[in-house]
Structure 1
Amino acid sequence: MSYFGLISTDSSDRMTNLKQIWQFLNTDIRELGKPGDVAETGTEITKFALEFGLALGLFSATASPAGIIVAGLSGTKLAIQGVRLYRNKTNQEQSLSLEEWVAIASPLAYLESFNELVQSNDLLQQVNLQPAIAPSPANIAQQQSVRLGEFRLDEHLARNVLTCFHESELAQVLNQVLSKKLQQAGINKYDADILTAWVAWNTHQHLKKALDDAEDSVRERAELYLAGRRQESDKYYSINTYLDEQIATKPLEKVFAESFTFKDIYVPLKAQSVNTDGQPDKDAEPIEIEGWAKAMLADAQKQDKVMFIQGGPGRGKSVFCRMFAELVRQHLHPVWTPILIRLRDIRAFEKSFEKTLQAAVGCDFVTKDDGWLTDRNTRFLFLLDGFDELVMERGTSQELKDFLWQVEDFQGSCQRNSEKEHRVIITGRPLALQGIEGRMPPNMERVELLPMDDELQQQWFTKWETQVGGDKTSAFQQFLQDKRCPDRVRELAKEPLLLYLLAAMHRDGKLTVEMFEGASGVGAKILIYEQSLEWVLTEQRPKWLNRELTGQETAGLRRILAEAGLCVVQSGGECAAVKTIESRLKDDDSAIELIQQARERHGEDALKNALAAFYLQPATGDKGGSVEFAHKSFGEFLCAERLKESLEDWTRKGEKWREFAISTDQIDREIYDLFGYGGLTPEIVQYLMALLAASTEFQPVRLFKRLENFYLRWCDGEFIDAPPENLPQKKMRQMKEQTPEVKWIGLRQVDIYAGLNVTILLLELHRYAQLKDYLKDQMAFFPCGEKDTDSFDEYRLIRSIGYSECLGIGGFLETVGQFLFGADLSGANLSRADLSGADLSGANLIGANLIGANLSNADLIGANLSGAHLHGADLFCAGLIGANLRGANLRGADLIGASLIGVDLFGADLFGADLEKITWNEYTNWENVTSLGTTKNVPEALKQQLGLD
């Protein structure tokens, strides 16, 4: 039924015909420019809005757009201007009726709303205003104005306009006209309907402004209706409130303790497409990340694609999310409405991804509307930041894989269902994907953020100059160009976070080329972090106590920061309660004294305020009394510093007859305290080993012996089998008291993580020793013991792998798999073990039993598998470049897609092996390989090379 059918055709005096009203207005709209008329200043009305006004019949079809603009007509307060013009032209002495006022003001307010949207929305600014086949503006005006002009307002319909314009009958008619106009301009119907819905909703605020200028009689009657409007519960109002409070504010947040904001120094980065193997496509041209994201949104052929942005720490992922969300709010909303979610803030994941989103957003437009995702008037762009920081039921990356498949299913449903054409962007560190690369959803369109090139750096320097001045900026650029500046520092300066850190410290005189002498690799990065620590402690921290800190106080504060880093990491890499940090410092006199002094001067929040200066901030949401690191890598670095302190303490020489100052029992307690929380990340391990290597107190052999002693006893179950209250129980109780929101923790999890983390440290110490001739014979780690010795137990490692399944499927693999490179696993029995995706490059697997093992996607480059038993092993897509497989038993092995480039297969048994899609080269040694005649799917080129039938 037409909306026109709702209106009586009786020519009643109580009804106001829009045509009768508007014919006074569109006779000669240029009269607005006459002396005595009020032409409001402000944003000029756009050409598109003028064409729409013609289509409505609000303006004369003979009036040129240029003439209207010259006459002084603006895009703001059109309703006020129209009412005043009507009164002047009709010379009315008595007050306007409410119906007359609504008839004049509401269509013009609607036009104001549209004009406002045109000013900001990129889609409306880029449309073709003169389609190839379209009626002239005059004909459009005639057709539409005739139809709309017959719309007649009585008191009931006028009240509906004022009570809730976007649900009123008049709004429905105006929406129809606008939607057709937008479609004629080349906008698809789906986008056109979204735009018109938002124009209608936003009209209400323009009507309210017009009422401020209305006569008392009109205003008093209108306000009776407006008083009943429950705008606070309106969906559109809730969305706009969310955008204003949660999106628009993000770019305006201060950069750490600086006076400028992220917006002031932000530069859009470049990215490179990622292939199906998870590696950047070096042959592809770099793309500007914001342009790529906008193009993906506009591409109707890629509506099923999840936009997946990966990048290392400090590469700019989170800042991109906040900046792009604001760009979408300013220029693409309401066609796309941005929703920014930090995945670290999600405490519980529902079985339904839609329910997870609902809980994460938590605003009225979501919680009060179960159909918020199927409303045709809204379309959301979900920016999910930090997939590597997912706080789920802690365990393996199985949860990450399940989450990504949930997202894939959601995006697929959005493509299939025209009522929910939403899109998803996910960001995070690529290392979190290790082990699931072969199990990634197929609809991920992946790119990796690139380091800043010279062009982007120069753009950044231009913005930096605006903040600090030309002299300081030039001096910093000269620092980076100095031959004495390590290459690693110049590389780090291509990462947005570290570029800022370097520039800020150099600005404050805390960074010189001399300090990097001899530093390289991760050592240079650590030097920057340590210098930034010193920078904060000396430049910013004195304000905390209103005086300079003594050396002991500085050490105390540094100890507090290190403990904060450990607490944040142990709580899941998100945030830590201040009371937890304090409880862990109770035995540190200098730290406790410092906290007490601060409390006396600044009250109970002294510690939280102190921590806020070093890239920590009050935790968001319901985590009052907690702090979190503004950037994850700072927490990881400080955690590594805290671990280093304990590892050095464990090797200190005791007095008189005691070999060590700290007893074995005490070390056992500290190992569970420090490592019984979750798996060490590669970043923490990298920082830790570099810190130890640079320390004069590092005693690797003594540390190795103490850790190996714990490892062997842990493998035998000594700690988990000890009577209550044993060490795993104590740590579990502590974690439940200090981080009750972390639900994953249990007795077995604490015990497993403590053992696996010690295993990681032993593997790292083993690699450290192999690079130094004087240590090779003193410390070598054999997870199963050295072969042909009494300590050898071929099943030791496989038992640990099986025990670790308590963490979830692949628990050992997800925790230790990326640290197995160069490991000595000779003779180990790993039959049927899941080692898919593990980094076994350079590993010693001589004589290992790998029968039935899953080595798909594993990195075996340079590994020695001489004499290994791989009967029935799955080597699907395994990287075997340069591996030694001399004499290996590969009977029935699945080698589909395996790379055998440079592999030594001398004497290997390939009976029944599947060689489909393998790659090899002239350096692959096929000499004396047996049973080649029984292999399956041998490539034709290999048959010819080896002379097979």
Structure 2
Amino acid sequence: MNELPRSPQTERHLWTFMDQVMRFHTQKSGSNSPRHKIILTSRPVTLDGVLARKYRHSSLPPLQSRLQRIAIEPMAKEEFRKWFLQWAKLQSKSIAQSYFNFLKHGGVFQQQSPHPDLVALLTRPLMLYLVGILHRDALIDDRIFKMSPAEVKFEIYDRICRWLLGEPTSGSGPPLELIREGLSHAGRSLEAIANLLEGRSPQKLRRQMQGTALTILQTGQNQVTQTVIQNRFQNQETTTDSFTQPLPTFFFRTQPRDKAGDWVKSSPRQSFASQKAASAPLSIEFSHPSLGDYLAAEEIALQLKALTQKLPNPYGEVSFVIDSSLHLAEHLYQLLGYGLLSPQIEELVIERLRREQQRNADAFSFPVLFQRLYRFYRAYCRGRWFDEGVAHRVHEQLRDLNNPLNTLQIDATVGLNVFLVLCSATREANLPFWPCGNPEIPQEFDADQLLSFMGRTVALSPTTFWQRARRSLAQIHLPQACLNRVMLAEANLVHADLSTAELSGINLAAANLQQANLAWASLVGANLADADLKGAQLEGANLLGADLRGANLTSANLTNACLVDAQLDEPNQQFAVKSGAFFSWDEFQSYYQSLVVSPFVKTIEEEHLFEDDPMIFIESAEGELMLPTIYSQGSDRYDGETEQFDRERLNAQATVSETEQYAGETAQVDEWVTEAPVSDTEQYSGDTQQLDEMGQHPSVSDTEQYAGETAQVNEWEFSESETEEEQLEAGAEQETGVFHEDTIMLDEEDD
């Protein structure tokens, strides 16, 4: 089933096909037994995706109950014995024995190997054969047992390609002593390499192979015609004459097809001859999907590296070769718009870029690539590239390759592929990746951005994001993000930051949340069954009604977390009680309300008011400048503010200098009083008396001050005749105005 053309509808088509096969299989023969025995082959990922679809017909049971799944077991002791007997016949006994000892010392044949992933890789038939070739020609040693599976896979593919083209190996250290025995030992002689190259340089042939592999990948059909390849690269460095020469059969299968589309058996050279003679369409495919993935990954890594290349101009200024944002977007759409990156290709791409950074950090670095892709991602989330027609232009180009994706699907594919590369690059560059933006930068942050991004991938299938991206979310930064009711079951969220995020109803069943930060997150009704929360921060998290059955809460911080109506196993519940979690909603609400900080007005210290040259820093100002008007609010309000200011001055413990300064200011005021008219002097004396009374009682409350003011007004009223009451009220208003003027003069002198 993996050989069928890929498209967003592939999963649905496979499900329909399997349903038809099963209906056919249920037809009974005369002996009341199935008429046929049918075997379907597939990779586990493809089959699991098909079986995950909901069965919509009630007339037949689900596919899972009607299928007998057969898994190909790893090679065991007996299979290895037969394999090495065949290898000894093809090479020699000494070569076979040396290779067997090499794998044995590496722990490949141990039942409890310290490197199970590496053993599983090296015991695959294809990898066992490739490593045997490299070991025979002394192009590999025991250093591969110290590498990760991704490094080993890339190292084997890279060395096989160099061995085939006659390029020097990139490994460090001298090669081991070469054993040249056996009738079939080719040893990649110079004659064999020359016959393969046919006048082409190894680098030119490698670029041709990588370009062809990427084109086959971009068709989505697992094959491409020779004419398409020639048209695709006619404007590049590789000339069309190079494509009249056959590609290495180790990597490619080149055969003509008849009118029905079936293969026409012939040798590679006969294929080219038959094409010239009969004009038969020549089709190119991968000899093995894994080898094709490696070549395509090499080309994708090369194109991503081009985004970081810089070029100085004649004036000494350095800029990127692909400088403008629009050109960068077109480059990415053409490169990654064909379909989703497979996990195998993504792994090989990152490994190639990792080696490029180790080789020359000035020529390539993950931080630079991350920054350029992140800018593209932010503009993509705002719909810029779709609005500018980039996806439409690339759709025309991919349609020439018979790629089945439409414009919306191409746009969704590019976005998800860039997202996957960003997730990998953030770990390599040790930089934070904010899919929703940094909440500390308000103009950049959008809590719904990732949720909207997931919605755009629905153009491929409703579960595309979950199926492809759930394993790539480690160390992601999503504080304050809104991911309500999102499907992230079995997701890898190790060291992820989800603090204060809205995660109500989210499905995190069997997710890996080790060391994740979920502090103060809203997880109301969340599904955390069988989730690994070892060392997770859940302080203050709202887990009301959450499902935590089977979850691993070892070393998790549940302090002040709300577990009201949460489903917990008995050990986890006891652990939560000891950790200080709340099982009462009222208690949690009371605690939560106690954390709310009451707003307060910050008072200005007195010492700052009398600085000779106070400085005020204004970060930004918007709108029209409006100056205060002193008398616009009425005299009563201004009096209260002046009195409060005077009271604060009198409450402070003044120094000797301040006392002398105040005395000097009082003397100056007395001089003004002496020079003033008699009526003004009397008015000022009454005001000064009021201030003295306030100074003697600095701790009097505002209510008492108001009472004192009222009493003073009453004294004015009793000192005059009742018949002159209206005149006295007018005189009081005049006195208040004079007091304002004197106070303003006093403030100016202080300044």
| TM-score higher than 0.5 | yes
Give the aligned partner of residue 855 of structure 1. Answer: 508
Q: What corresponds to 2:204 in structure 1?
A: 556
Work out whether residues 899 and 919 of structure 1, in 8 Å CA contact, stay in contact via their aligned partners in 2: no
The residue number in structure 2 matching 1:428 is 42
- 2:386 corresponds to 1:738: no
Q: Is the 8 A contact 2:2 2:42 kept in 1?
A: no
From the superposition, tell whether residues 870 and 516 of structure 1 become closer, same or farther in structure 2 (CA, over 3 Å): closer
User: The residue matched to 1:654 in structure 2 has which SS?
Assistant: strand
Describe the shift of the 1:399–1:878 C-alpha distance in structure 2 as closer, same or farther (beyond 3 A). farther
Amino acid at match of 1:711: Y
Shift of 1:401: 6.3
Equivalent AA in structure 1 for residue 125 of structure 2 = P
Q: 1:806 aligns with which of 459, 474, 490?
A: 459
Equivalent in the alignment of 1:776: none
Q: Distance in 2 between matches of 1:923 and 1:736?
A: 59
Pair member with larger Rg: 2
Of 474, 494, 506, 2:135 maps to 506
Partner of 1:463: 86
User: CA separation in 2, counterparts of 1:782 and 1:416?
Assistant: 65
User: What is the alpha-carbon distance in structure 1 between the residues aligned to residue 68 and residue 14 of structure 2?
Assistant: 17
CA contact (8 A) 1:542 1:548 kept: no
Q: Is residue 622 from structure 1 mapped to residue 261 from structure 2 by the alignment? A: yes
Partner residue of 1:472 out of 87, 91, 95: 95
Indicate the residue corresponding to 1:646 in structure 2. Answer: 303
Q: Distance in 1 between matches of 2:18 and 2:549?
A: 26
Secondary structure (helix, strand or coil) at the match of 1:713 reads: helix
CA change 1:431–1:820 in 2 (3 A) is: farther
Find the aligned partners of 1:699 and 1:643 in 2 and give their Cα distance: 16
Work out whether residues 762 and 781 of structure 1, in 8 Å CA contact, stay in contact via their aligned partners in 2. yes
Amino acid at match of 1:738: L
Query: Given that residues 832 and 854 in structure 1 are in contact (C-alpha distance below 8 angstroms), is that contact kept between their aligned partners in structure 2?
Result: yes
Structure 1 range deviating more: 451-460 or 538-547: 538-547
Residue number in structure 2 paired with 1:537:
165
| Structure 1: segments with no counterpart, 5+ residues | 1-342, 348-390, 600-605, 771-778, 935-949
* Distance in 2 separating the partners of 1:890 and 1:401: 38
Q: Check whether the contact 1:902–1:925 (CA below 8 A) recurs between aligned residues.
A: no
TM-superposed deviation, 1:913: 3.2
For the 8 Å contact 2:515–2:537, the answer to whether it is kept is yes
Q: Residues 667 and 685 (structure 1 numbering): CA distance in 2 closer, same or farther, change over 3 Å?
A: same
* Structure 2 residue 278 is matched with structure 1 residue 612: no
> Does the Cα contact within 8 Å between 2:518 and 2:541 map onto a contact in 1?
yes
Aligned residue in 2 for 1:700: 366
Query: What is the CA deviation profile of residues 6-56 of structure 1, one whole-angstrom value per residue up to 9, with x for unaligned ones?
Result: xxxxxxxxxxxxxxxxxxxxxxxxxxxxxxxxxxxxxxxxxxxxxxxxxxx
Partners in 1 of 2:144 and 2:213 — Cα distance?
Answer: 25
Name the structure 1 match of 2:719. Answer: none
Structure 2 counterpart of 1:674: 335
Check 1:929–1:781 CA distance in 2 against 1; reply closer, same or farther (3 A cut). Answer: same
Contact 1:910-1:930 within 8 A present in 2 as well = yes
Give the letter for the 2:253 counterpart.
L
Deviation, structure 1 residue 684: 1.0
Does 2:513 correspond to 1:865? no
Kindly state the Cα deviation for residue 490 of structure 1 after the two structures are TM-superposed: 6.0
Deviations 1:372-419 (A, max 9, x none): xxxxxxxxxxxxxxxxxxx35447x56666766666666667799935
SS across alignment from 2:284: strand
Q: 1:796 to 1:392 in 2, by over 3 A?
A: closer
CA, structure 1 residues 896+517, in 2 after alignment: closer, same or farther (shift >3 Å)?
closer
Aligned to 2:582: 930
Structure with bigger RCO (C-alpha 8 Å, 6+ apart):
1
* Deviation (angstroms), 1:569: 2.2
Alpha carbons 1:902, 1:921 under 8 Å: kept: no
Query: Take 2:573 and 2:19, find their aligned partners in 1: how far apart are those partners?
Result: 37
Q: TM-score, normalised by structure 2?
A: 0.62
Contact 2:7 2:220 in 1 (8 A): no
Report how far residue 927 of structure 1 moved. Answer: 2.4
Residues 477 and 345 of structure 1, relative CA distance in 2, 3 Å threshold = closer
Partner of 1:568: 216
- What are the within-5 Å matches in structure 2 for residues 807-886 of structure 1? 807-886=460-539
Let me know the Cα RMSD of the aligned residues: 3.7
The reply on whether 1:749 has 2:404 as its aligned counterpart is no
Residues 459 and 410 (structure 1 numbering): CA distance in 2 closer, same or farther, change over 3 Å? same
Q: Aligned in 2, Cα 1:553/1:514: closer, same or farther, shift over 3 Å?
A: farther
CA contact (8 A) 1:575 1:619 kept: no
Tell me if 1:712 matches 2:378.
yes
Cα offset, 1:852, TM superposition: 2.1
Name the structure 1 match of 2:649.
Answer: none
**Number of paired residues?**
520
5 Å-filtered alignment, 1:207-356, equals 343-346=1-4
Match of 1:909 in 2: 562
Change (3 A) 1:678 1:619: farther
Distance in 2, Cα, partners of 1:841 & 1:721: 36
Other-structure match for 2:660: none
State how far apart, in whole Å, the 1-side matches of 2:96 and 2:408 are: 54
Equivalent position amino acid for 2:347 in 1: Q
What are the superposed Cα offsets for residues 861-883 of structure 1, whole Å, 9 maximum, x if unpaired?
A: 44332221111223355444554
| Alpha-carbon distance in 2 for matches of 1:423, 1:484 | 40
The 1:747/1:839 distance shift into structure 2, 3 A limit, reads: same
Provide the rounded CA distance (Å) in 2 between the counterparts of 1:904 and 1:462: 58
How far does residue 492 in structure 1 lie from its aligned partner after superposition?
3.6
Q: Secondary structure at the match of 1:719?
A: helix
Partner secondary structure for residue 285 of structure 2:
strand
Q: Could you tell me how far 1:525 is from its partner in structure 2? A: 1.7
Residue 785 of structure 1, CA deviation: 1.1
2:478 match: secondary structure: coil
Letter in 2 for 1:428: S
**Is 1:787 aligned with 2:439?**
yes
SS at match of 1:503: helix
What CA deviation, in whole Å up to 9, does each residue of 1:486-510 have, x standing for no partner?
A: 9787664311110011113333x25
Q: AA paired with 1:536?
A: L
SS of alignment partner, residue 680 of structure 1:
coil
Report if aligned partners of 2:251, 2:292 keep a CA contact under 8 Å in 1: no
Deviation at 1:683, TM superposition (A): 0.9
Task: Please give the alpha-carbon distance, in whole angstroms, between the structure 2 residues aligned to 1:675 and 1:910.
Answer: 45
Describe the shift of the 1:482–1:875 C-alpha distance in structure 2 as closer, same or farther (beyond 3 A). closer
Cα distance in 2 for partners of 1:414, 1:632 equals: 38
Q: Work out whether residues 26 and 34 of structure 2, in 8 Å CA contact, stay in contact via their aligned partners in 1.
A: no
Distance 2:23 2:570 in 1: 32
Q: 1:596 aligns with which of 228, 234, 241?
A: 241
